[in-house]
Structure 1
Amino acid sequence: MDNKLMLMIPGPTPVPEAALLALAKHPIGHRSGEFSSMMAEVTENLKWLHQTTSDVLMLNVSGTGAVEAGIINFLSAGDRVLVGNNGKFGERWVEVAQAFGLNVETITAEWGKPLDPQKFAEVLEADTNKEIKAVIITHSETSTGVINDLETINSHVKKHGQALIIVDAVTSLGAYNVNVDGLGLDVVASGSQKGYMIPPGLGFVSVSPKAWEAYKTATLPKYYLDLGKYRKSTAKNTTPFTPPVNLIVALHTTLGMMKKEGLESIFARHERQKNATRAAMKALNLPLYAADECASPAITAVEIAEADKLRSVMKKRFDIALAGGQDHLSNKIFRIGHLGFVCDRDILSCIAALEVALPQVGYDNFTPGAGIAAAAKVFS
């Protein structure tokens, strides 16, 4: 029998039935009054989710495109930038910044470890001539399951006074309390296939007044990703280019669901599911790749030999998709996503299936039922 696929990966994430039905509707014209009315509501709800009164712009891109837009709209070739690099995506932002001719200085940490805020403080404090134009960090490092200390790093950027903070919040926004105005974040990028609970295809960039001032003098080339165009169109409840209309219809649906659940409940749900997943892995004597104090609410990385074989068993036997490791972590870790449209039942189902699959790859260093019991204790 064909089972229903369970996506337990950090993206794409499961999509609610109501959003799937919205995707199945006949498209409407993107220059119509009906679409304009929907755009107005979506924009307002995006500001609610980001906890900002500033602009939140939608682009027809993935999360990578959103972060690239967040970099190139506010900087010029040769600008000095600090980039945090402690995983695959931090590494990517180094590459993007270098590709556009920025003067890149990296602050690194071992994969699986968080960035050290004090290292940012030291470099920023030493910059008495205020040459550093931006600090670019990944909030939730998807490749390792680590969440970086955005609040503290941002406080050091604020003390610097001149530098912008540009944040990859692709797997944290909608799962963790990213209070854009409360923290004074300048540029925050994210993607639709994560906490927003719809398929890939839309990127989001919030922009502060300080960042818009930097935009006026930024000279890096841009056209399709020129956020000024999106700002003007969004103010008129439209888009500068043809948008994926039905994705926005689906987003209208999921943002409504999120507002009904409430921000505090959304954040608490992700925290609860993270804690349950981690408790289960510990009970199964499986090493966690990230420490408890820096564990992402969106993704848990677990160490095991022959990780890809385990993922294959989970997919073939139970139709549950787990994510693998990247680069040097290939076949050394698997990653369980607990992000977006994931309920407690999904976590329990995944753990139960994992307990069955583990002996099939030669791992039996656990008491059957221990993982489920540990997760159930967190949920109860």
Structure 2
Amino acid sequence: MRKPKLLMTPGPTPLPPEVIAAMSQQIIHHRTKEFGEIFSRVNENLKKVFQTKNNVLTFAASGTGAMEASAVNFFSEGDTVLVVSVGVFGDRFINICKTFGLNVIEKKYPYGDVANIDEVIEIIESNKDIKGVFITHNETSTGVTNPIEKLARYLKNTDKILIVDAVSSLGAIDLKTDEWGVDVVVTGSQKALMSPPGLAFVSVSEKAWEFYKKSQLRKFYWDFKKYQDNLLKESQDTPFTPAVTLIRAVDVGLKLILDYGLENNFKRHTRLAHLTQLAAEKLNLELLPKKEYSSAVITAIKSPEGVDIEKVRKIMNQKYDIMVTGGQSTLKGKIIRIGHMGYVDEFDLLKTIECFELALLEVGYKNFEVGEATKAVLQEIAKGVNS
């Protein structure tokens, strides 16, 4: 008898029963008081999770849609921007900006490294034409989290804006949008927000709105002012037909996060990352990034010599119904990535580690004591029980 697959991936992530129940309701019309009340509540709760006083715009789109929107709303063709990349999604920002005719200065770091913020600041100071800086907060392709606070605080009092891809981090890793001075933050519904794919969210600072006024890139669906104007009406709605069912789902997901407590949620994700890193250590496996930069929402582990890590992943998926992911781009076949974000707990992780051990054994990797990783994780969980 097969059970539903346990999604230990960088997204989509498992859904709480309350979120699933919300999506099972009969559809309602989006130009009604009933929907307006739901959408207004979502907007207020999004501000809390984004840690901003500014409105958060909602799009029926993937996170990539919000990334594209963040390029076309603030710049004009030929404007110079700096894009800092530490992986696949940083590279995506580069491609988006080039698509719309922006003059892109690229600062790339090897996969597994994080951005050196001092180096980034030096580039900004030596290129006065830079109008905006794009950076990924948490790079799921390599399992690293960029230390963006210093960069945000530096740019806060300059004539440049900071645009951050927080698609996989928002709600799971602390990002103090207003306090740090992040001008534009983009995220998606299907990761730490514990909801299905299909919605994208963008917060916009007052400084960024001044950039919007000067932007000459063409936009229609992605025009931020259309969405902002609709949020300023007494009955909040969207300029185009919204994904009503998904907004209902996010409404419930946000409530669960805020009831649990944002800080508690950060701590929970950090603990799950610690347990996964501990398991890797007991299996004599090496993390791709340095431990101090390893993500709280996904752990990237190098394939040991002589092991077909893609076969390990397939065994976990097809035999044990636990879906983890492999490497992307140049990391394909070189790493395995275990997600631990959103509606995932310690016991989901314990099961994942057990099956990881079994899959490694099946492909012939024997450089560990069977059960040692699982035992170490269980002992760490028991400490929490005892305390």
TM-score range, shorter chain: over 0.9
Partner of residue 134, structure 1: 132
Paired with 2:74 and 2:379, the residues of 1 have a C-alpha distance of 48
Q: State the number of aligned residues.
A: 377
- The one-letter code sitting in structure 1 at the alignment partner of 2:21 is L
- The one-letter code sitting in structure 1 at the alignment partner of 2:377 is A
**What is the aligned-residue RMSD (CA, Å)?**
1.0
Partner of residue 69, structure 1: 69
* Residue aligned with 1:216, SS: helix
Of 300, 306, 309, 1:307 maps to 309
- The one-letter code sitting in structure 1 at the alignment partner of 2:65 is G
Write out per-residue CA displacement over residues 280-311 of structure 1, whole angstroms, 9 at most, x where no aligned residue: 11110111111111111111011113111001
- The one-letter code sitting in structure 2 at the alignment partner of 1:362 is G
Matches within 5 A, 1:115-154: 115-127=115-127, 130-154=128-152
Paired with 1:365 and 1:58, the residues of 2 have a C-alpha distance of 48
Of 217, 229, 233, 2:230 maps to 233
Partner of residue 174, structure 2: 177
Gaps in structure 2 of 5+ consecutive residues? none
Write out per-residue CA displacement over residues 31-71 of structure 1, whole angstroms, 9 at most, x where no aligned residue: 01100011111100000111111011110110111111112
How far has the Cα of 1:353 moved from its partner? 1.1
- Cα contact 1:276–1:376 (8 A) shared by 2: no
Bigger mean CA deviation after superposition, 362-371 or 266-275: 362-371
1:165 aligns with 2:162: yes
Write out per-residue CA displacement over residues 213-258 of structure 1, whole angstroms, 9 at most, x where no aligned residue: 1101111111101111111112231011111100001111111111
Paired with 1:374 and 1:113, the residues of 2 have a C-alpha distance of 28
- Cα contact 1:120–1:156 (8 A) shared by 2: no
How far has the Cα of 1:377 moved from its partner? 3.9
Partner of residue 268, structure 2: 269
Paired with 1:55 and 1:374, the residues of 2 have a C-alpha distance of 44
How far has the Cα of 1:259 moved from its partner? 1.1
Give the TM-score normalised by the residue count of structure 1: 0.97
1:329 aligns with 2:327: no
Partner of residue 252, structure 1: 251
Work out the percentage of aligned pairs sharing the same amino acid: 44
Give the TM-score normalised by the residue count of structure 2: 0.96
- Cα contact 1:272–1:378 (8 A) shared by 2: no
Gaps in structure 1 of 5+ consecutive residues? none
- The one-letter code sitting in structure 2 at the alignment partner of 1:315 is N
- Cα contact 2:273–2:298 (8 A) shared by 1: yes
Of 350, 356, 359, 1:357 maps to 359
Paired with 1:378 and 1:45, the residues of 2 have a C-alpha distance of 33
Write out per-residue CA displacement over residues 106-165 of structure 1, whole angstroms, 9 at most, x where no aligned residue: 1111001001111111112223xx411100000101100011111122233235x01100
Paired with 2:216 and 2:316, the residues of 1 have a C-alpha distance of 49
- The one-letter code sitting in structure 1 at the alignment partner of 2:152 is N
- The one-letter code sitting in structure 2 at the alignment partner of 1:63 is G
Paired with 2:360 and 2:63, the residues of 1 have a C-alpha distance of 33
* Residue aligned with 1:112, SS: coil
